[in-house]
Amino acid sequence: MSNNTEIKFIDNSKEWINWIEESIVKKQIKYYDYKYFNNIQGIGLGRFGKVYRANWNNSHNYLALKLFFNFDTITKEIVNELKLHREMDFHENIIRFYGITSEIQSDDSKRYLLVMEYADNGTLRYYLSEYFENLTWNDKLNLAFQLSNAISYLHDKEIVHRNLHSNNILVNKNTIKLTDFGLSERIEELSNVQSKLFGMVTYIDPQIFNRRDSNNQLQIYTLSKKSDIYSIGILLWEISSGRPPFCNEPYDVGLAMEILQGLREKPTLNTPKDYIKIYTDCWNNEPDNRPTINQTTWNINPNS
């Protein structure tokens, strides 16, 4: 990274940190004093940071603390997530944002952590690996409906998630909780986009790897609502199978190209045909042929 880029990141970081501090002073964001958190334990590690659980002020209830790696370079995205949470009304299937806390480091710098709702069943991937054998089709359909319902809420507010996979969807008391929808825009700004995406190659819209459009012209494909729909299709398959897609394959450029050319997972035995049609429609290779999230939610709804 060039020195000019580093200076730009630092300047932007100061600007966004000032926004955070002003929001705390104006009580637009609730501030939690870090010294009142106890029993702090690491519970998750992701691409953007680490998640802890902790008790607040000797309470027996847990809160989640979300710490970000490379804070200076993604401060804008953290602020974006804060703004999105602040603007949204409460939704049962979206993780709740409570406020922010900060910890003073040994060099007297300050690191910020988001204070969030704690999900006691962990990620959707963990939940399926632990409890799948006990889930009825009704349970699976309910999980699928909740997930679709959460994305429907975001899309109605013109928010595109762009980063849906089973490790950033949480489960709390058997209820889906969507998270990480403020940071995903960073994906598009990174250099060498393709190399950064292989960790989630099985969930992301394969058109992101297509360098040319139908007229053979070079294109820059932007992840959109239709990209979220593709990811939903993969996740619906995962809910029906209990395992991550292509879990025995290396997540590399070869797999990305095969998926772009139409490779998909096979339906799991005894999956209802209507459910198979829902997720195969969602993961259609052609974005314009994918349904909207409202159509998907309607088709999944057990009561429709």
Name the binding residues for ATP: 66
In one-letter notation, the amino acid at residue 121 is: N
| 3-state DSSP assignment of residue 83 | helix
Q: Interior CA angle at 253 toward 247 and 256, to 5°?
A: 60
User: What percentage of the chain's residues is helix, strand, coil (to nearest 5)?
Assistant: 45, 20, 35
Chain mean position to CA 96: 14
Q: Where are the alpha helices (DSSP H) in the chain?
A: 3-25, 71-87, 124-131, 137-156, 186-189, 193-197, 225-241, 253-260, 273-282, 293-300
Enumerate the known binding-site residues: 66
